[in-house]
Structure formats: C-alpha cells, structure tokens
A and B are shown apart, each in its own frame.
Chain A
C-alpha cells in the first residue's frame, strides 16, 4: 500500500447513510473510499429484523438486515468504490489529511471531499447500580442477539418506549426472551404505535410515566425497582414495584457522534430536537468546513430511512462538486430533497423539521 492513499471522496462510516452516499457518488463516476470501524459494513441495519416503514424508494417492507445486505451489494458491485472494514478514522487535519487506524497500521488518506456518516451513540441514565453486569445498552443487546445469536438473559426490563425500546423488545421476544415490562418516563409512548400495539397484544405491559429507581444484585442484575411518575415527573410514593429480572436494557435515546466534526472545526450548534450538538450545514448537507459533508444520525438523530436519503443527497452533492454528473445531479438532488420532505411531513417528522429550522437559523449561540 502506498504511504498516502488518495481518493476523491472519503466516507467515514459504513452504515445506511455512508453506504448510500458511497454508491450515489460512485454511480456518478467519483472514486470513493468508505472506512468502517466494524468488521462488516451495514451499521445498525444488519441488526434489524423488522420490516421498514417509508416507501418503496427507501425499501419499505424489506427488513433492516435485508436492506443492509442490499446496500453492501450495491457497493461491492461498483468498480469506483472501496470499503475498508476494521478501520477507525482518527482525525481530520487542517491540510485535509485524514488519518485512520486499520489492520494494526496508521493510515493516511488525502481525499478531495469528506462525508462524515458516523451515526450516533447511546445515552445513559443515572440510577443506583446502573453499572451492574446485566445492564446493557439496547445496541449491545441487538449486537449480541442478532449478530452473534446469543440472548442476554431470561427476563428483561426495557427502559424506554421510543422506537428502539419497542423494536428491541420485539426482537428479544422473537429470540424467546421474556419482557417483564417496557417502562417510559414520558406520559406517552415515543415510538410508532404499531410497534407498541404488536408487543402489547402479546402480553407485554408498556408502562408510561414510569421510571427505574434502582437495580440490585451482587455480581449482576437480579432485579429492579420501578415506580410511577406524577405529572411533574416526580416519583409517586408507594407506587414501587419489584421486578425480578436478570437484564435491564437501556433504550433512552441517542446522541450524534460528532467528535470528528468538532475536531474538523465545523461550526456546531446544540439542537435538542436533533438530539444534541450537530454541525451547521447547507440544504445539501455541506458543513461550514468546505468540502466536508454530513449525513445520517450525525447530522441529527432520525430513522434509517431518512439516513439513507441524506446519504444519497450528500454523495450526489460531493460528486457534483467535483464535476461529476453535473447534468443530472440537480435533478437527483431535488428528488432526494423531496423524499426527505415527504418522510418528515407527518406528525412524526415535526420534531426533526423544527430542529432543522433551528439549526439553519443564523442566530443563537453556536460553538
């Protein structure tokens, strides 16, 4: 391998956004390199057993892992495109050099454009004994169960009734694990109600306005105490319940994985509706550092369907800025933007839309 790897477009992260960006850019003729820290590309898609929502354009009706396989296949068949797995990007330097660690080597890459599609990381919540073995992030349960085929335990308390909490509960049930309850501190279920209904009708209680007050056990989780919350989110005295569970699964939200954006000196802004600090970017997903684009959860936590469309948009925009597909790029960009508006048009997308308006607003505190 040469000392410095040259590529036209470097994509950081091989999840739904990164892979979609890669094939979109490569299809227009750009040379593309995708760096993925895991041993297999596909990101969280490969752990999803449920059928996706959206429309045909976002592969609705196919299961997440099937969509993952499809995106991987599209990338594999493209001669302009390389995917390096087991490779972690370390830094983006002022002179445009990107460094990475892979196969035990320190790698240097000089791309003309960069698309950061690093995704998000899971949030944690504070309660006594939240460090006991048997307490997992929902992503860990998915990895263990749907990648390695190993169940985390016998009986689970799920914290969080957003889409991830609901989906992972369903996946646990499919793997033969009992769900003692799904609890949610908010007064209403945050995830799609069809997910909630299919779990509820199988006999799993979904308790809104409930929280965990502690987990207990010596060398691992043996149980957890939950309680009701009143309208001001305060514990209701005497409402405690002791659940005998050996697993507590946390599905309490995601934060955009923006370290590289901060480090690359992109202008950042805290936008609660997008789940944390996100880079300020144009409609075509270019950040304030020219030539650096973002796509997927790193630009605001959303569904995988929109991550794929954002990826496509960033890929087309980056390729077009290098002079590829200038004739058709505007049409493709308009199509992607229309799909994003469509996906976000309903009540479920309002939060994201508010977040994006907030983000694009020139005023306010930025860092």
Chain B
C-alpha cells in the first residue's frame, strides 16, 4: 500500500512504469527499488530458502541480508531491495542458487 498523504513527508515519485513479475505485468515508479514496487503491489513472498523451502520476504531493505535475491532480466542473485526498477524489467522468483554466466 502506498502512502498518499503524510503529516510530515512528501514523496516525490518518478514516472509510472510497467515491469513484469513472473510474467505478470505490474506498475511501479521509476527510481524506486524493485522490492518497493513489489511490496506496493502486495507481493510479500520474494523467494524460498534452499533447503527447507520456507518463504522469504523483505527483511533489511538496505542490501545486507540477502533475503530478497531474485532473477532480474536473466541475471540471478540480484538484491532487489537496492536494485532500481526500470521500464520493462523482468523480475522472476529465483529457483535454487542461480548460475554465473
């Protein structure tokens, strides 16, 4: 959920853009992180743990904890809490540990 009115802060959002999450088209704002856009769209489960396959969500939001690694435009292990959203980006839930190309 996006905050539309705040008693103290004003949010300067970029242009509204489209991106794809597991093939589904979603909207977000240029300049925000991928994680922020997914969160605003109500996506909380970002991946699953390797061994127990437990759901993983956003935890630190500053690129420290690796809870939010996803596959972005074909590249695995992207920390989507710090990676900025771009138009047409393809964000996919990552299966396994990903391969370096």
Chain A residues close to B by CB (< 8 Å) = 37-39, 49, 63, 65, 121-122, 131-137, 139-140, 143-146, 148-152, 174-176, 218-220
Chain B residues touching A, majority SS: loop
- Which segment of B56-64, B69-77, B93-101 sits at the interface? B56-64
Q: Identify B57's interface contact among A134, A139, A143, A151, CB under 8 A.
A: A134
B7 at the interface (CB under 8 A from A): yes
Q: Identify B64's interface contact among A121, A151, A174, CB under 8 A.
A: A121
- CA of A150 to CA of B44, assembled, Å: 13
Q: A220 and B3: CB pair below 8 A? A: no
Are A143 and B3 CB-contacts (below 8 A) given A131-B54, A149-B9, A150-B39?
no
**Which residues of A are found within 8 Å of B7, using beta-carbon distances?**
174
In the A-B complex, the 7 residue pairs with the closest CB atoms: A133-B57, A140-B61, A149-B11, A148-B36, A143-B61, A133-B44, A49-B8
Q: Identify A220's interface contact among B45, B61, B64, B84, CB under 8 A.
A: B45
| A–B complex contacts, Cβ < 8 Å, 22 sampled | A37-B63, A39-B84, A49-B9, A131-B49, A131-B54, A132-B55, A132-B57, A133-B57, A135-B57, A140-B59, A140-B60, A144-B36, A149-B13, A150-B2, A150-B3, A150-B36, A151-B1, A151-B2, A151-B3, A174-B8, A219-B44, A220-B45
Q: B8 and A137: CB pair below 8 A? A: no
Chain B residues close to A by CB (< 8 Å) = 1-3, 6-9, 11, 13, 32-33, 36, 39-40, 44-46, 49, 54-65, 81-82, 84
Q: B3 and A139: CB pair below 8 A? A: no
Q: Identify B60's interface contact among A137, A175, A220, CB under 8 A.
A: A137
- CA of A132 to CA of B46, assembled, Å: 11
Q: A146 and B9: CB pair below 8 A? A: yes
**Which residues of A are found within 8 Å of B45, using beta-carbon distances?**
133, 219-220
Are A149 and B64 CB-contacts (below 8 A) given A63-B8, A136-B59, A144-B58?
no
**Which residues of A are found within 8 Å of B2, using beta-carbon distances?**
149-151
Q: Which residue, of B6, B49, B82, has the highest number of chain A Cβ atoms within 10 A?
A: B6
Q: Identify B59's interface contact among A39, A135, A150, CB under 8 A.
A: A135
Q: Which residue, of B40, B61, B64, B82, has the highest number of chain A Cβ atoms within 10 A?
A: B61
**Closest-CB distance, B63 to chain A (whole angstroms):** 7
Q: A146-B9, A149-B13, A220-B44 are in contact. List 8 more A-B contacts (CB 8 A).
A: A121-B60, A131-B54, A148-B36, A150-B3, A150-B40, A151-B1, A151-B2, A176-B3
**Which residues of B are found within 8 Å of A146, using beta-carbon distances?**
9
List the B residue with the shortest CB-CB distance to A148: B36
Total number of residue pairs linking A and B with CB closer than 8 Å: 91
**Closest-CB distance, A41 to chain B (whole angstroms):** 14
Q: B39 and A220: CB pair below 8 A? A: no
- CA of A134 to CA of B57, assembled, Å: 7
Q: Identify A145's interface contact among B3, B59, B60, B64, CB under 8 A.
A: B3
Are A148 and B57 CB-contacts (below 8 A) given A39-B84, A174-B8, A175-B3?
no
**Closest-CB distance, A177 to chain B (whole angstroms):** 9
- CA of A218 to CA of B55, assembled, Å: 8
- CA of A151 to CA of B9, assembled, Å: 13
- CA of A39 to CA of B39, assembled, Å: 20
**Which residues of B are found within 8 Å of A137, using beta-carbon distances?**
59-61, 65
- CA of A89 to CA of B23, assembled, Å: 36
**Which residues of A are found within 8 Å of B56, using beta-carbon distances?**
131, 133
**Closest-CB distance, B28 to chain A (whole angstroms):** 10
- CA of A49 to CA of B36, assembled, Å: 19
List the B residue with the shortest CB-CB distance to A130: B59
**Which residues of A are found within 8 Å of B44, using beta-carbon distances?**
133-134, 219-220
**Closest-CB distance, B54 to chain A (whole angstroms):** 6
Are A148 and B32 CB-contacts (below 8 A) given A174-B7, A176-B3?
yes
**Which residues of B are found within 8 Å of A63, using beta-carbon distances?**
8
- CA of A131 to CA of B13, assembled, Å: 30
**Which residues of B are found within 8 Å of A143, using beta-carbon distances?**
61-62, 81
Q: A38 and B62: CB pair below 8 A? A: yes
